[in-house]
Structures are given as C-alpha cells and as structure tokens.
Amino acid sequence: MVVCTHFSRSSPGFAFTLIGFLFLGLLTEPASAQVNSQESCPMGVECDYFPSTCDAGACDAICNDNSAWCESFYSCLSDSGISVSNNLTQYYFGTVGGGLDQTDRYGGHGDYVANMDLGKLGVHEGLFLKLRAEHRFGRSIGEPAGVFFPPTLPTELPVADSRDLYLTNVLFTQFCSERFAIYAGKLDTLDGDANAYASGRGITQFSNVAFIANPIALRTIPYASLGCGFVILGNQGEPLFNFLVMNPTDTADTDGFDELFADGVALSAELRFATPLMGKPGHQLFAGTWSSRDYVSLGQDPRILLPNIPINRADGSWSLYWNTDQALWVDPTDAARHWGYFARAAIADDSTNPVNYLLSAGLGGASPLRTGDSFGVGYFYSGTSEEIGPILEAAALGPIGDSQGVEVFYRSQLTQSISVTPDFQWLSQARQRIDDAYILGVRMNIAF
C-alpha cells in the first residue's frame, strides 16, 4: 500500500519530501539492471490457480517463497500465451517560481496492458491481441504552470477532464512471416517516434511531452482511435517500417465505430533503422503524417494544453519529423546498459498546427553510477505558428511567441517493482505575459 501525504508549499515540507526521496534512492541497494514489470506478484493466490501447463511439483516447492512464486507464476502465464505489464505512476510536482500560480499538485496515471498470443491459446497461429486500459487521477501541474506542453503528460491522459477508465487498445496483429505483420483495431499512438533515451510514455524516462514524442505530429494523429496498418521488422526484431491508416478524430472515450472515417483519414509512416557507431547502438528515424480532416478549431487535446477556439478553416494537415539516438558509453559487462545522446527535429503545416517547428536534444540512458538507475537531461525549442499565434493572442491569452525548456531527471530503481524519479523543469513561456515556470517534482512508479 502506498500512503500519499499532501504538504503545503507554505512550509518546507515540499522541498524536504523531494530531498528525502532522492536520498532514499541513493542509499537503497541497487536493483537489477533489467527490471521486469511482471515480477511484482499478488499475494494470497493459491497454487491451484496456476495454469495446467505448470508442473504441480514445482508449484508445491515454491509456495513458501514469494519471489520464486512470482517468477514461476508469470512464467506459467507466459507459457500459456498471456503476458501482463501494469504501471501505477504518481506525480507530486510544484511550481516553485513563475507560471500562473505557485502551488503544488498531486496526480497519477494507471496503465494496464495484457498481450495474448492467440496461437498458444489455440485460436489462430501468429495472431496476437493487445489490450490496454488507462485512467488518470488527481490534478496536473500543467494549468498552474501556464504552459502549452504538459510537464507531466500521463496526468493528462487518456481523456481531458475525465478520470474514468478507458480502453485505448484493442489491437489484433497477424504475423504473415517472421518479419511482416498486419494489424487492426483500436490503438494509441504514444509509442510512436520511438527513441532509446527519450520515449518511455512519461513513466520511465522524461515526463514532459516535448521529450516523450514529437508534439508536432499530434495535430494530425489522434491519441487513440480505430486504425489498421502493417509493420516490417528488422534483423534484430525491432520495427523497421510502420505504416498506419487511422480515423483522424480521437475516440479514446468511445468505441469509435460511429465516427469511423466520418471526418476523413489520417496516415502515418515511420522508418527507423539501426546506425551503430564504433560498435555502439544507435538509430535514425524518419517519419511523416498527413490528415484529410477539415480543421475549424484547435479542439480539446490532452497532449497540448490549448483552449478550444475557432481557427481559419483549413482542409488537411501534415507534419515531417526526425529523431536519432546514439550510445556513447556501453557497460563492458552488460551491453543492455548504455547512455548516449538524442535529438529531434520537425516541421508542420502552420495553418492548422499551433507548433510550426520543434527542435530538441539531450543526454540520457543507464546511469554509470548505479545499476538499475537511469538519467536524462534535455532541451527543446518550439516555434509557434505565425497563423495560429495571432488567433491565440486574440483569445485573451496575450502576446504569443516561441517557447523553450529544459528537463533534468534521475530515476532511482529502489526495488524490482518501484522506482522514484526526482525531476526539475525550466519552461520559458510561449505566453509572453507569463513568467518562466520553474517546476520541481518527484515521480513514483509501481510496476506489477
């Protein structure tokens, strides 16, 4: 059980809480380098609940050892074709300077994923089903900070102004060969624009949307909706090329069939290939999006905090983006542990997209100081559209310009299931009448 205590920023409790979490992480014994989110197991489940594929003798032998029981239980599920990966992430962030209001907020996000191998389950060989349910709770620091890019993206997802539980993935994937698959169903797009050091869904790496995925593509591609496509895998089993055809409106809170392609269609294509440098892993990604949807307002989108106001009517929108990651250091005893640099760049149609271009770069990856830990430091610069900017200014937001920001975090893996991440962000406002926001916070993730 996690006990959450609220501290008023009028006392030193807020700062002491963050410092305490940091020292707790540094003093705790290191966890393993590769953390398996399935290794935190429920208590009080009898051995009779193991799938029939499990060995009864082995089950009896581990009943009194919770750690071994846990490993065997999830292994049995995996052998039966079912794997689960769940995350409950809590955020306690405060604006310690600038912004609209110097205050603190507690919020969180639940992410529950099940992957089923329907071949092992006797349905059809090579067929897989992915289910994802999400909800948020508490309050986000985004509004008091006065920013357009959410500093803690998961506290805004999956649906703006709702704390209900929603299915954002019901996705069927059929492998036609070892390197080619087709898929269809309801899916979310947050895992797009993948990067080794700047992705992580706001849970394991950066918290600010500017470093999780390229915000410039968010205008054309909704967060969750119905779609279909195909993927080609590379030699190492990673996606090499992905092509997606999608309903252009977000239907995270509905099944989406009544709205399917009623407003046009959205297309996305991503090419990501390995570019190792001096024997160290690296990647290059090139991608583009296009939507035929008619745009008449900015609309509500939890991934960018903008008011729903009318804009000049435009038919269609597009974006082009690129990212790279390259390892600079690799642990000589564990090749999976490495850190390096990342960079992103993108441009978009400025008649429909409030962000005309975006640049970001930084360092991140596995901590060389402590096994299991990771870190990141990043900088972004966002150019506001010259067509949308005046519309935002007319909506009583004041003069609108470009924005930039920095995020620094250190993720300490306390146990195989629990990580704590102190985080600092400096955000220079696009709304020029608002002072730069200085945000300090801590994130706790429980994986089970």
Q: pLDDT at position 297, please? A: 75
Q: 119-133, 292-306, 333-347, 398-412: which range is least confident on average? A: 292-306
> Within a domain: residue 94?
yes
> Is 50 domain-assigned?
no
Domain presence at residue 385: yes
Q: Are 342 and 198 in contact (CB under 8 A)?
A: yes
Instruction: Give me the pLDDT at residue 67, please.
Output: 56
390 preceded by a cis bond (ω within 30 of 0)? no
pLDDT given at position 396 = 66
* Predicted confidence band of residue 315 (pLDDT cuts 50, 70, 90): confident
Q: Residue 43: is its pLDDT beyond 60?
A: no
Compute the distance between CA of residue 171 and CA of residue 130 in angstroms, rounded to an integer.
5
pLDDT bracket for residue 30 (50, 70, 90): very low
- Assign 303 a pLDDT band (cuts: 50, 70, 90): confident
- CATH number at 18 reads 2.40.160.180
Q: Which tens digit of pLDDT belongs to each residue from 368-391?
A: 999 999 999 999 999 999 888 888
Kindly state the average pLDDT of the residues 202-210: 97
Please, which residues have CB within 8 angstroms of residue 404's CB and are 6 or more apart in sequence?
Answer: 379, 380, 381, 382, 427, 428
* Residue linked to tokens 């899916």: 187
CB 109 within 8 A of CB 135: yes
Structure tokens at 129: 């089903």
* Residues 245, 265 contacting (CB under 8 angstroms): yes
Q: Are 409 and 421 in contact (CB under 8 A)?
A: yes
309: enclosing H helix or E strand? none
Q: Which residues contact 218 (CB under 8 A, 6 or more apart)?
A: 301, 303, 304
Q: Tokens representing 442?
A: 């801590």
Residue 395 lies in a domain: yes
Please state the pTM of the whole predicted model. 0.83
Q: How many domains does the chain have?
A: 1
Domain boundaries, position 201? 13-30+81-447
- pLDDT, greater one: 25 or 205: 205
Q: Does residue 64 sit within a domain?
A: no
Whether 76 is in a domain gets the answer: no
Is the pLDDT confidence value at 19 over 70?
no
Average pLDDT, the chain: 86
Least confident span in 15-19, 65-69, 292-296 = 15-19
Is residue 97 included in any domain, yes or no? yes
Only one residue has tokens 């150019």, namely: 383
What per-residue confidence (pLDDT) applies to 71?
65
Asked if residue 39 belongs to a domain, the reply is no
Report whether 228 contacts 173 (CB < 8 A): no
Residue 302 pLDDT class (50, 70, 90 cuts): confident
* pLDDT for the residue numbered 317: 93
Whether the per-residue pLDDT at 237 is higher than 90: the answer is no
pLDDT band per the 50, 70, 90 thresholds, residue 70: low
